[in-house]
Amino acid sequence: MIGVRYPDEYAVKETFQLLKIPWEWYDPSKDCDDYEVLIGKKEDFSSKDGNLIDISKDDIFKKVTDLLNCGKPHNSAPLCEKYLNELKNKLKQFTTLVEIPPIPWDYSYIVALTHDVDVTSVRERSWLSIGYAIYNCILDLNFVDGARIFLAKFGLLKDPWNKFEEWIKIESELGVRSTFYFIPFKDIPGIDSPKIIAGKYELDKDLINRLIKDGFEVGVHGIDNWRDQKRAREEFKKLSEFTNLDVGNRTHFLLRNEDTWKILDACGYMYDSTFGYNDDVGFRAGTLQVYKPKEVENLLELPLHIQDGALFMRPCLKLPEDEAKDRCDEIFDFANEFGGVITLLWHQMSLAVPHDWGNFYRYLVRKASKEGAWVTRAVDVVKWFEVRRNVRLDCTEKDNKLRIRLDGFKILEDIPAMRLRIYVDPEKIRGVDGKYIAKGDHVDVMCDKGEIMVALDESF
């Protein structure tokens, strides 16, 4: 068993939620040799202690949870997964490592597809924002589409900014479903915010019910819920009419402060997916996993990794398509290496001119599907991680048999199974009471029950 001694309970628990390996708090009344390995600061253990991973100079619990909660600007790598991997490699020297990696059975990693609905039509927008769109068309020498936007404002052409039908068509062709975050109230820019950022549409009940019926998720595109509890409740209530209690949030403009997660949690939001960059792509939270921020009861954060505007817009990265592909490929490579989830944000009107970013979206979804990813709605991803988080792993070794218990194990409909990864030489395995695959230095067993037995060779 792995024993841990460290003063910050949240930091340890959350780090082990990402690691998902068996562990327990160090019990000073026990003999240190009762533990296969201990993790903590050397000064906190007596000198006769056994195998110790000393974190005095390299405090993994602090490094991981600082990233999850405070983030890091312009960070292009999943640093948490890198730190966790280093720790796992150290642990392997002392114990037979067993983990539930963030990789669903039958898949290589996960992609969450999301759309923020800032705009639903040309006609609802002010001349200022239409002028800006036309100006962008002119900069791109696209005069025809500039004229189309102008004429649509008068209702003389089909609205080029209402793309819901096209989204349904594209995602049906790709065989996937996604999440749409709607602004709950019309004409409210938010406390102390400029008028121009207000949503200009009323919630269209028929549209929302149709999306839900077709298998899409709808959530809140929060205006004030990041800073005001009363408003957070109102915004929650408005969308929960459609979704019951599974309400997810992504705040408009990715606004947040240090109280945001606590406010959302207190109001019953199931998850938030705001922690990402407006002006870059990558790993603000340093992770590919869904996690629980500090001082919340239930709320989970699904970090955001790639958004359309950050890749292509002035004054953000404004990358040409091939460079944008390189940046995204890099992020997908990390998911292939570590598993976990990549969250994409493509705005409702990104399919429209002047943006026209639909083909790039198709490229990313096809790439993920080709690489064996589970491509799905945000809520599904959060539920998958929730099921994984609720399991407590326990592994005992006796008479060349590993008995692995998954307390709290649950199967959810339409959510893929988890996998148990056991780091033993596959040649030393005599039998596993379940479906499994052997690969390199480990075997992966499909988790379809609360207890799994693995029989090992006598030479183990």
Q: How far is the CB of 252 from Zn ion (least distance, A)?
A: 4
x-marked contacts with Zn ion along 205-244 as a string, rule CB under 5 A: ----------------------------------------
Alpha helices per DSSP H over 267-423: 308-312, 321-338, 358-370, 378-389
Q: How far is the CB of 182 from Zn ion (least distance, A)?
A: 10
Q: How far is the CB of 199 from Zn ion (least distance, A)?
A: 8
Q: How far is the CB of 269 from Zn ion (least distance, A)?
A: 17
Within 83-102, the residues that bind Zn ion by CB under 5 A are: none
Q: Annotate 59-82 with DSSP letters as a single string.
A: -HHHHHHHHHHH--TT--S-HHHH
Place of tokens 């408005």: 238
Interface with Zn ion by CB under 5 A: which range of 113-121, 171-179, 201-209, 289-297? 113-121
Of positions 14, 49, 99, 118, contacts Zn ion by CB under 5 A: 118
Number of residues forming the site for Zn ion (CB under 5 A): 3
The residue with its CB nearest to Zn ion is 252
Q: How far is the CB of 389 from Zn ion (least distance, A)?
A: 29
250 in contact with Zn ion (CB under 5 A): no
Of positions 115, 125, 227, 252, contacts Zn ion by CB under 5 A: 252
Please identify, using beta-carbon distances, which residue of 118 and 171 lies nearer to Zn ion: 118
Q: How far is the CB of 341 from Zn ion (least distance, A)?
A: 21
Q: Which DSSP helix (H) or strand (E) runs through 93? A: none
Interface with Zn ion by CB under 5 A: which range of 132-140, 212-220, 248-256, 388-396? 248-256
Q: Which DSSP helix (H) or strand (E) runs through 280? A: none
Please identify, using beta-carbon distances, which residue of 104 and 190 lies nearer to Zn ion: 190
Among 27, 21, 28, CA closest to 87: 21
What whole-number distance in Å separates Cα of residue 389 and Cα of residue 383? Answer: 10
What are residue 78's phi and psi, to 5 degrees?
-75, 85
Q: Which is it for the CA torsion 250, 411, 105, 415, positive or negative? A: negative
Which amino acid, one-letter code, is at 248? G
Q: How far is the CB of 257 from Zn ion (least distance, A)?
A: 17
| Contact by Cβ (8 Å): 421, 101 | yes
Of positions 49, 116, 265, 272, contacts Zn ion by CB under 5 A: 116
Please identify, using beta-carbon distances, which residue of 69 and 162 lies nearer to Zn ion: 162
Q: How far is the CB of 385 from Zn ion (least distance, A)?
A: 24
What whole-number distance in Å separates Cα of residue 55 and Cα of residue 42? Answer: 7
Please identify, using beta-carbon distances, which residue of 118 and 386 lies nearer to Zn ion: 118
SS3 of 230, please?
A: helix
Among 413, 417, 447, CA closest to 433: 447
Give the torsion through C-alpha atoms of 291, 296, 299, 300, to 10 deg.
-10
Please identify, using beta-carbon distances, which residue of 26 and 275 lies nearer to Zn ion: 275
Please identify, using beta-carbon distances, which residue of 17 and 121 lies nearer to Zn ion: 121
Please identify, using beta-carbon distances, which residue of 81 and 116 lies nearer to Zn ion: 116
What whole-number distance in Å separates Cα of residue 244 and Cα of residue 318? Answer: 39
What whole-number distance in Å separates Cα of residue 350 and Cα of residue 363? Answer: 14
* Contact residues: Zn ion, CB under 5 A: 116, 118, 252
